[in-house]
Amino acid sequence: MTQTHRDGIERVILAQAGGLDTSIAIPWLADTYRAEIIAVTIDLGQRKEWLEEVRDRALATGAVRAHVVDVRDEFARDYLIRGLKAGLFRHDPAAMVEALARPILAQTLVAIAGIEEAHAVAHGDRGGRGGAALATAVRALDPALILLAVPATMSTPVEDRAEIARVATTFPDEPAYVDVAMQRGAPTGINGVAMPWPDLVASLDILARAHGVGPSPLGALDVAHQALEKETISSDAERFGIGIANEYLRMLHDGSWFSPLRQALDACVDKIQERVGGSVRLKLFKGECTVVECHASAPSPPVIIPVIKG
């Protein structure tokens, strides 16, 4: 007997964050639309075991395929470093990482939809601001895609994070000192060792967690970045940078990341950050990150173009 697809939807690409709610969404979407469900999870640097568990759960709950797409390098280069330069991590670093992940998730969903010849994309953020921003970003990349959202009634209880946060933790009685090197507003190494971004963040994360500085090492990197900015850029540029950061935040929240305006802001940020370089010594101690020393690099001499008179 031939299966009848609802609304002509034969295949749905589902953004799977790994929670039980998106796993429950797989059989619901399959039953509601009589369609094949293909789950997509982006690898931003999560544990390999966790990613495998998410993929296996998707297949076990009815997905015909489950893709885990490694976007770590692109996410670091085009999003996290951009966010650090623009000062986005002066807000809640963990929330900013989540917000910055939405545009690259949208890119990945659209790419997989093309590969799988799917005409619909679904997400598990039921009516929330993040879901709306993701949907807008998907539409900007491919207006032909049908956007589906799982109803709010499919929600499952979540952990009481406040209760978890109240669990007491003992931190070392001796502080840790970390030297962060930066060039053009981007970190290049710690403690005298040059490192690519993933290794640098992973190494700093170990130290930060051990001393209660978190939940993300990006907060510590922002402390170092702010210290160098105060030494290397003018107050006018600093004020202008705050306005740019607010525009980035607006675009992340309303889903307009893939606009010409953002590209123009990128160019402004890169220009401002040209002089932001040097080294910063950070002190990590019992949940606090403070600057001990800050040494800015000598600014490059201005380029002088000779005037040739005829």
Label residue 17 by pLDDT band (50, 70, 90): confident
Burial of 309: CB neighbours in 10 Å, binned 0-12, 13-18, 19+: exposed
Name the packing angle between helices 235-254 and 218-232 (round to 10°): 150
* pLDDT score, position 219: 93
* Contact yes or no for 34/6 (Cβ under 8 A): yes
Number of C-beta neighbours around residue 223 at 10 A: 21
The range of the structural domain enclosing residue 57 comes to 8-154
Asked which of 154, 177, 207 is the last residue of a domain, the reply is 154
* pLDDT score, position 128: 57
Label residue 276 by pLDDT band (50, 70, 90): very high
Q: Between 152 and 280, whose confidence is greater? A: 280
CATH number at residue 183: 3.90.1260.10
Label residue 164 by pLDDT band (50, 70, 90): very low
pLDDT tens column, 59-108: 999 999 999 999 999 999 999 999 999 999 987 898 999 999 999 999 99
Token pair 């690898």 is found at 43
Token pair 């600057």 is found at 291
Residue 255: phi, psi to the nearest 5?
A: 85, 10
Please work out, in degrees rounded to the nearest 5, the angle formed at the alpha carbon of residue 254 by the alpha carbons of 249 and 255: 95
- Is pLDDT of 310 > 60? no
Cα gap 182→199, rounded to integer Å: 15
Whether residue 278 is contained in a domain is answered as: yes
Whether residue 309 is contained in a domain is answered as: no
Label residue 46 by pLDDT band (50, 70, 90): confident
Beta bridge partners, 178, equal 282
Domain shared by 148 and 182, yes or no: no
Whether residue 138 is contained in a domain is answered as: yes
Domain shared by 118 and 36, yes or no: yes
Whether residue 131 is contained in a domain is answered as: yes
- Is pLDDT of 163 > 50? no
Residues 167-186 have a mean pLDDT of 88
* pLDDT score, position 16: 87
Please work out, in degrees rounded to the nearest 5, the angle formed at the alpha carbon of residue 89 by the alpha carbons of 166 and 208: 50
* pLDDT score, position 159: 39
- Is pLDDT of 249 > 70? yes
* pLDDT score, position 4: 53
Domain shared by 231 and 209, yes or no: yes
* pLDDT score, position 65: 96
Domain shared by 209 and 130, yes or no: no
Asked which of 154, 178, 197 is the last residue of a domain, the reply is 154
* Contact yes or no for 38/64 (Cβ under 8 A): yes
Instruction: Work out how many domains the chain is built from and give that number.
Output: 2
Token pair 């895609």 is found at 145
Domain shared by 198 and 229, yes or no: yes
Residues 39-56 have a mean pLDDT of 93
Which of 292, 90, 277 lies closest to 176 in space, CA to CA? 292
Return the half-sphere exposure (C-beta side, CA atoms, 13 A cut-off) of residue 68: 18
Q: pLDDT > 70: what percent of the chain?
A: 84
Look over the chain and give the mean of its residue pLDDT values, rounded to a whole number: 86
Helix (H, G, I), strand (E, B) or coil at 24: helix
Domain shared by 126 and 229, yes or no: no
* pLDDT score, position 19: 64
CATH number at residue 86: 3.40.50.620
Cα gap 250→231, rounded to integer Å: 28
* pLDDT score, position 70: 95
Domain shared by 118 and 237, yes or no: no
* pLDDT score, position 160: 37
Q: Between 120 and 169, whose confidence is greater? A: 120
* pLDDT score, position 243: 93
Label residue 277 by pLDDT band (50, 70, 90): very high
Cα gap 249→256, rounded to integer Å: 10
